[in-house]
């Protein structure tokens, strides 16, 4: 039965059924100056504990270097601290910039972390940034090699986790003779691995491989289009309806979210913080372009209205619940919600998270039958 007052927010998803939408928190804290680092890292640990306290399913960690856009920088090290401070919370990477790592070192680190967290891991792997060229420069890696390094590293990591007798590897970037990896993963055969897909082609490619994926910030309409082609690719790969539903449940879509007591209060809080975040992230890229003449793509700050419509969900609990219902209708399994935007204070973020989990999330907490006509 549909609970009173909720029916108007929900409708069948693209498969014609009602599903349970899952909610998570993306911890992506900005530290504008080096003097801010220690405070923001401390506040990030407090937000991680609050994420578990409020009942979010997953805490997602990002990775960016040199610019303060992600204060804790190294998601694997930070995840170890989170694992020790929580008991039930799943820790996800969105994503580890795999091309920056030696694959065996990363395989060992994640295997250890999997033991420390007793299996509470989602290992999101990706090549790395598509726009911050200084991250590759700082690690001495040619950005043109990033995709190739990622693809080779992923194969090595998976093989390291699943080769009890060790193995040898001869490739473009690494020639390895690897004994059996220790420690072994706590999860069998290894932690759940999830890939990022920032394009329609990426979604189709992962569908053809029968794999779930994470989506970047986009509109609900675009999410619906990607999930439709993804389902088609899964079906063409030979998956049955049950397997397709399982893959969809493991797909996550990213949204920037601010919840306040009223729509007007959310507008006052969210829009300036969001725009300052976008502008701050652009500033260093523009500086690198001016200094080096290197631009990895077109990443100029869009007009305010365009940015807000595309990248931000904000409002009262009722308004935000309407947006969550639109995502649920696409068939995507979960929402990666980034609640702390740019210079937003920690207490404002905490209030937004509480409102979301106390007044929005319960409306999506169980599988329900469609209302009768």
Q: What is the mean pLDDT of the segment spanning 5-33? A: 69
Residue 180: what pLDDT?
A: 97
**pLDDT above 50 for 9:** no
pLDDT higher at 47 or 296 = 47
Mean pLDDT of 14-25: 72
Supply the mean pLDDT for the chain.
90
The pLDDT value given to residue 168: 98
Pairing between strand 96-97 and 121-126?
A: parallel
Q: How far apart are CA 245 and CA 345, in angstroms?
A: 39
pLDDT at 236 over 90: yes
* pTM of the predicted model as reported, rounded to 2 decimal places: 0.91
Average pLDDT over residues 87-93: 98
- Name the 3-class secondary structure at 259: strand
Sign of torsion, CA 333 198 68 107?
positive
pLDDT tens across 25-35, in order?
A: 999 999 999 99
Q: How far apart are CA 191 and CA 200, in angstroms?
A: 26
Among the residue ranges 194-203, 231-240, 242-251, 291-300, the one predicted with the least confidence is 291-300
pLDDT at 339: 98
What pLDDT band is residue 310 in, cutting at 50, 70 and 90?
low
What is the model's pLDDT at position 182?
Answer: 97
Inter-residue contact 337 to 25 (CB < 8 Å) = yes
| Stretch (H or E) spanning 330 | helix 317-330
Q: Assess whether pLDDT exceeds 80 at residue 98.
A: yes
The burial of 326, by beta-carbon neighbours within 10 Å (0-12 exposed, 13-18 middle, 19 or more buried), is given as middle
Q: How many CB atoms lie within 10 A of CB 365?
A: 12
Q: Is there a contact between 298 and 289 (Cβ–Cβ < 8 Å)?
A: no
In this predicted structure, what is the pLDDT of residue 288?
84
> Can you give the pLDDT at residue 55?
97
**What percent of the chain clears pLDDT 70, i.e. is strictly above it?**
89
* pLDDT at res. 84: 98
pLDDT for the residue 304: 46
pLDDT given for residue 71 in this prediction: 98
Q: Please, are residues 274 and 307 in contact by the beta-carbon 8 Å criterion?
A: yes
Give the H or E element holding residue 234.
Answer: helix 220-236
Spatial separation of the C-alpha atoms in residues 72 and 273, rounded to whole Å: 20
Return the pLDDT at 291. 87
62-86 tens-digit pLDDT: 999 999 999 999 999 999 999 999 9
Question: What integer pLDDT is reported at residue 8 of this predicted model?
Answer: 35
DSSP percent split of the chain into helix, strand, coil, nearest 5 = 50, 15, 35
- CA pair distance 171, 148, nearest whole angstrom: 10
């Amino acid at each position: 039965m549909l609970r009173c007052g909720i029916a108007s927010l929900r409708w069948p998803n693209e498969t014609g059924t009602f599903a349970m939408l899952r909610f998570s928190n993306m911890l992506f804290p900005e530290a504008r100056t080096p003097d801010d680092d220690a405070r923001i890292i401390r506040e990030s640990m407090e937000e991680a504990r609050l994420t578990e306290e409020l009942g979010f399913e997953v805490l997602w960690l990002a990775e960016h270097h040199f610019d303060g856009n992600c204060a804790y920088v190294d998601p694997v090290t930070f995840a170890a601290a989170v694992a020790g401070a929580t008991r039930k919370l799943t820790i996800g990477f969105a994503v580890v910039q795999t091309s920056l790592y030696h694959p065996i070192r990363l395989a060992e680190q994640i295997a250890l972390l999997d033991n420390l967290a007793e299996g509470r891991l989602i290992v999101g792997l990706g090549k790395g940034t598509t726009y911050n060229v200084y991250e590759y420069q700082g690690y001495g890696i040619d950005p043109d090699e990033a995709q190739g390094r990622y693809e080779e590293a992923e194969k090595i990591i998976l093989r390291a986790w699943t080769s009890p007798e060790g193995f040898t590897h001869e490739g473009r970037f690494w020639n390895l003779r690897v004994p059996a990896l220790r420690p072994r993963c706590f999860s069998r055969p290894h932690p759940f691995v999830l890939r990022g897909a920032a394009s329609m082609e990426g979604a189709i490619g992962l569908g053809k491989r029968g794999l779930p994926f994470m989506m970047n910030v986009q509109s609900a309409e675009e999410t619906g289009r990607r999930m439709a082609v993804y389902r088609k690719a899964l079906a063409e790969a030979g998956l049955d309806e049950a397997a397709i539903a399982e893959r969809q449940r493991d797909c996550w879509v990213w949204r920037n979210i601010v919840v306040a007591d009223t729509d007007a209060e959310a507008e006052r809080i969210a829009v300036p913080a969001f725009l300052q975040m976008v502008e701050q992230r652009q500033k260093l890229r523009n500086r690198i372009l001016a200094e080096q003449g290197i631009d990895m793509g077109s990443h100029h700050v869009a007009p305010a209205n365009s940015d807000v419509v595309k990248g931000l969900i904000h409002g009262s609990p009722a308004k935000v619940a309407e947006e969550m219902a639109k995502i649920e209708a696409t068939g995507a399994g979960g929402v990666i919600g980034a609640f702390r935007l740019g210079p937003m204070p920690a207490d404002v973020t905490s209030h937004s998270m509480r409102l979301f989990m106390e007044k929005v999330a319960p409306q999506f907490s169980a599988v329900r039958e469609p209302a009768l006509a």
